[in-house]
Structure 1
Amino acid sequence: MRLRDRVAIVTGGASGIGRAIARRFAQEGAVVVIADVTETVREGGEPTRALIEAAGGTARFHSCDVARWPDMDGLVTATVAEFGRLDVMVNNAAIGGRGGRLLDVDDGEWDRVMAVNAKGVFFGCKRAVQQFLTQPVLGEARGRIVNISSQHGMVAAPADIAYGTGKAAVVYLTRQVAVDYASDHILCNAVAPGRILTGKPLGDAPDSLEYSHMRTPWPRLGRPDDVASAALFLASDEATYITGHNLMVDGGWMAY
């Protein structure tokens, strides 16, 4: 119960990695607010909120487009109004682009991807820090931010310049917020997943999966629970002297 009585928001918590994080946090005692544009689970199954409640946890769903400041502002305001404080903000929501190299991507596609993957994390960090600064220190922290970046924030995303640039922005933003607000007892870290199999209905192209297996030293590819475990560590008191870190969860991809 490492998050007993803590209040956490998980953006993009309806599906995939966000769903795994929300469920793991609830298992560890957190009240979890799931923020997403829909409760429908991309990979199928019961809504995340329903699964948490069926297991005896406390969860809420809040409809939220992270690319809109009024939505993010309302999300945090409603959470604090009901539960009294915010302890952990997980900025997980992201979208994939249509792909393309520099000359293949028009400004509409660039803006669409960056609005969610970069500006959405900026909004999430900003609104969380605003709230944290109004709260007393609990343990050693006023609040914790866990951003979900990507290995493609560290190395190029082949033929997917908008996605890779957005994730690189998350890595930088994590460091900047960590440094700027460390003296305020606010911690900000990121988790950078490698190839994670989320169970999306359409799956992945066989050649892409074959390349990922070849490129990953660990004998299997990642699961959403692998990322959730890392996020839990960074959200817990066990990680108090860690801030500004981008934790790779990639089966050794970046070490290869």
Structure 2
Amino acid sequence: MRLRNKVAVVTGGASGIGKAIAAAYVQEGARVVLVDIDERKGKDAAAEIGAEGEAVCLRADVTDSASVNQMAQEVDRRFGRIDILVNNVGVRITKPFLEHTDADWNIMIATNLTGPFFCARAVTPFMIRGGSGRIINTASIASFVGRPNRVAYVSAKSGLLGMTRALAIDLGGTGITVNAIAPGSINSPMNASQAADADHDWGKETPVGRWGTPEDIANAALFLALDASSYITGAELKVDGGWVSTKARAGELA
């Protein structure tokens, strides 16, 4: 029970990676607040992963600062503290550059970059009051490389790494660390159609040779939430089966 007495907020906690992270935290003794815009789905997920009081759901829109501030205040009112924030909620629009509309761009930036900023700003005073904290941002392999037909998504996720580094130094000396996890090809709801495409198996492009699972990301998020990671801040942890770091040309592999 390495997170006993800790209170964690996980955005986008109703499904996929967020739900897996929330479950891992509950298993280690944390009380977890699943924040999601789909309250019904969030409540179902909370009931599935924890007993009453171990996991709860609060509805909030991360693109609305007032909604996020209200959420943080409610978490503190219920539990008296906030120790961990996982900025996990994310959306992706895939279409050619010239087909990206103003609305497409705005929702990508608002959800994937502005939302984490709002959430971090909302919970940080409570972490400072408690003398420590962990902020974990879910970035992407798209934070490091250009990906086709994802100009707004890549821009937002690249910006999230910059925000992670800036927050790490701004919060230096407070006991709060700020790090990012960069998932690769994860078999989650966001990638369901790609994972089902047997003719284009992204998992085989990695040295590990398989798709990742939400639990792979949860394991990384668990480590970054522990006291054992207290000397790590401003860092990004790629959980991508080696996809970004390793490349082979045609004919080089046996």
Task: Indicate whether the TM-score tops 0.5.
Answer: yes
Query: Can you list the C-alpha shifts for 1:10-61, whole angstroms capped at 9, x where unaligned?
Result: 000001100000111000100000000114559xxx921111234x761111
Whether contact under 8 Å (2:34, 2:57) holds in the other structure is: yes
1:243 aligns with 2:215: no
Query: Can you list the C-alpha shifts for 1:102-135, whole angstroms capped at 9, x where unaligned?
Result: x2212111001111011001111111223222x1
Change (3 A) 1:215 1:58: same
Structure 2 letter corresponding to 1:58 = E
Residue 158 of structure 1 is matched in structure 2 by 148
CA drift of 1:198 comes to: 1.3
Q: 2:72 aligns with which of 64, 72, 76?
A: 76
CA drift of 1:184 comes to: 1.6
Residue 223 of structure 1 is matched in structure 2 by 213
Gap runs ≥5 in structure 1? none
Residue 17 of structure 1 is matched in structure 2 by 17
Partner Cα separation in structure 2 for residue 244 and residue 15 of structure 1: 27
Whether contact under 8 Å (1:157, 1:163) holds in the other structure is: no
Q: 1:182 aligns with which of 154, 172, 190?
A: 172
Whether contact under 8 Å (2:113, 2:160) holds in the other structure is: yes
Whether contact under 8 Å (2:87, 2:135) holds in the other structure is: yes
- Report the TM-score, using the length of structure 1 for normalisation: 0.90
Residue 52 of structure 1 is matched in structure 2 by 49
Query: Can you list the C-alpha shifts for 1:155-214, whole angstroms capped at 9, x where unaligned?
Result: 112111011111111111001000111122210001100000015696327558725134
**RMSD value, Cα:** 2.0
Aligned residues: 246
DSSP 3-state at the match of 1:61:
strand
1:105 aligns with 2:105: no
Structure 1 letter corresponding to 2:17 = I
- Report the TM-score, using the length of structure 2 for normalisation: 0.91
Residue 115 of structure 2 is matched in structure 1 by 120
Residue 3 of structure 1 is matched in structure 2 by 3
Whether contact under 8 Å (2:81, 2:130) holds in the other structure is: no
Partner Cα separation in structure 2 for residue 158 and residue 186 of structure 1: 35
Gap runs ≥5 in structure 2? 247-254
Q: Report % sequence identity.
A: 39
Q: Larger deviation: 14-23 or 215-224?
A: 215-224
